[in-house]
C-alpha cells in the first residue's frame, strides 16, 4: 500500500461496539485498538494482524455493567479492598473523549476523561479527575492513567490496569520476570516467593510485588509479549479463573478461561494518597516482541 494511502487511514474514528459508543484507533501500518467510552476500556488491540486482548463473547453491553475483557480500569478501589463496589466504579461510567492526536513518533493518541459527578458521589464523595491516555504505535500499546485531586481534602485510592491478554492455550502459557518476587496467593491465602516462571493448571489469582525492572513477559507458544509498568504501580496481578470458577461467571463462555490471562499493573498494597492539587500517573506498556 502506498505510504500516502496508509497514512490517510491512521487516526481515530467513532464506531459502535454492540450499540455502545467506541473509538477505533489505527496506525499507519494497520494496527488497531478499540476503546469504549464506558470505562475508557480498551476492548481490542490488533497488532501485526493478531488480536492480543481477550474479550468475552458473553460480555454484557448495556452501557453500565462491567465489560468482561479487554483492559478494564479498576478505580478508585481494587477488588473488594474497601467499601466501594468491586474494582470501583470507573469501569461502569461513561467517559468523555478528547480530540485525537499524534505524538512526536507518529503514534495515535487518544485521551479520555472522567470527573466526579452525582453518579460517582453516590458511591464516593471525593472530587477527582481521571484521565486515561492510549498511545497506539506499530506493535505497541501504552495505557497511562493520570489521577488528580482538584478538591480541598486529601483522599486515597487503589487501582489496576486489569489487562485480559489473549492466549492460545493458558495451560502452555507462562509469565516470566517474576522469579524471586513476593506473591500473595488469593486462592489459598498464602504468602510465598515465586520460583521461576508462572504456569497455569487451574484457578490462579495472585498479587506479586513487581520486580525492580518492572518488566514481565508473556510467552504464549511462539508468541511473546513484553509488559512494562511504571514504578508507581508496584504490584502485578496475575489471574485466570480456571474451569470451575469460569463456569460460574455468567459473562464468560465455559471454555473462555483457556484463551485469557490477566496480567495487571496495580497499586494495591499501599493506597495512593493524593492531597489537594496533586496528580499521580501510572502506566502499562505492551509490546509485541
Ligand atoms: O484482579 C483479579 C481479580 O481481582 C480476581 O480476584 C477476579 O475476581 C477478577 O479480578 C475479576 O473481577 P470481576 O469483578 O471483573 O469479575
Three-state secondary structure of 19-48:
CEEEEEEECCCCCEEEEECECCEEEEEEEC
- Residues near ligand 1 (Cβ within 6 A): 66, 79, 86-87, 162, 186, 205, 237, 239, 262, 264
Give the ligand 1 atom nearest the CA of 78. Answer: 4
| Residue with CA at minimum distance from ligand 1 atom 8 | 79
Asked if omega into 76 is within 30° of 0 (cis), the reply is yes
Ligand 1 centroid – CA 226 distance (Å): 22
The best mutation among 67, 68, 86 to test binding of ligand 1, ranked by most ligand atoms within 8 Å of the C-beta, falls on 86
Q: How many Å apart are CA 46 and CA 248, to the nearest integer? A: 29
Radius of gyration of the chain (CA): 18
Low-confidence ranges of the chain (pLDDT < 50): 1-8
Neighbour count for residue 233 (Cβ, 10 Å): 23
Give the ligand 1 atom nearest the CA of 249. Answer: 16
The pLDDT of residue 9? 80
Which residue has 516462571 as its cell numbers? Answer: 197
| Residue with CA at minimum distance from ligand 1 atom 2 | 239
Instruction: Please state whether 13 falls in left (phi above 0), alpha (psi between -120 and 50) or beta.
Output: beta
| Alpha-carbon dihedral sign for residues 140, 108, 41, 285 | positive
User: Model-level pTM?
Assistant: 0.96
The best mutation among 262, 264, 265 to test binding of ligand 1, ranked by most ligand atoms within 8 Å of the C-beta, falls on 262
Amino acid at each position: 500500500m502506498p505510504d500516502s494511502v496508509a497514512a490517510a487511514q491512521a487516526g481515530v474514528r467513532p464506531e459502535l461496539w454492540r450499540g455502545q459508543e467506541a473509538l477505533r484507533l489505527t496506525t499507519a501500518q494497520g494496527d488497531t485498538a478499540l476503546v469504549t467510552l464506558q470505562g475508557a476500556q480498551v476492548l481490542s488491540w490488533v497488532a501485526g494482524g493478531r488480536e492480543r486482548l481477550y474479550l468475552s463473547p458473553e460480555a454484557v453491553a448495556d452501557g453500565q455493567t462491567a465489560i468482561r475483557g479487554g483492559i478494564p480500569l479498576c478505580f478508585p478501589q481494587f477488588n473488594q479492598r474497601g467499601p466501594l463496589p468491586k474494582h470501583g466504579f470507573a469501569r461502569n461510567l461513561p467517559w468523555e473523549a478528547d480530540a485525537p492526536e499524534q505524538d512526536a513518533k507518529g503514534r495515535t493518541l487518544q485521551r479520555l476523561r472522567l470527573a466526579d459527578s452525582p453518579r460517582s458521589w453516590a458511591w464516593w464523595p471525593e472530587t477527582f479527575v481521571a484521565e486515561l491516555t492510549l498511545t497506539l504505535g506499530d506493535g505497541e500499546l501504552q495505557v497511562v492513567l493520570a489521577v488528580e485531586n482538584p478538591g480541598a481534602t486529601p483522599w486515597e485510592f487503589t487501582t489496576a490496569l486489569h489487562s485480559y491478554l489473549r492466549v492460545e492455550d493458558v495451560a502452555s502459557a507462562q509469565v516470566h520476570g517474576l522469579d524471586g518476587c513476593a506473591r500473595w496467593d488469593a486462592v489459598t491465602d498464602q504468602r510465598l516467593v515465586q520460583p521461576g516462571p508462572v504456569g497455569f493448571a487451574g484457578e490462579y489469582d495472585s498479587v506479586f510485588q513487581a520486580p525492580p525492572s518492572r518488566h514481565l513477559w508473556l510467552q504464549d507458544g511462539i508468541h511473546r509479549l513484553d509488559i512494562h509498568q511504571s514504578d508507581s504501580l508496584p504490584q502485578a496481578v496475575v489471574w485466570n479463573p480456571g474451569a470451575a470458577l469460569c463456569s460460574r461467571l455468567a459473562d464468560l463462555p465455559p471454555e473462555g478461561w483457556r484463551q485469557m490471562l490477566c496480567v495487571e499493573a496495580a497499586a494495591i498494597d499501599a493506597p495512593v494518597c493524593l492531597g489537594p492539587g496533586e496528580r499521580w500517573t501510572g502506566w502499562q506498556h505492551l509490546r509485541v516482541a
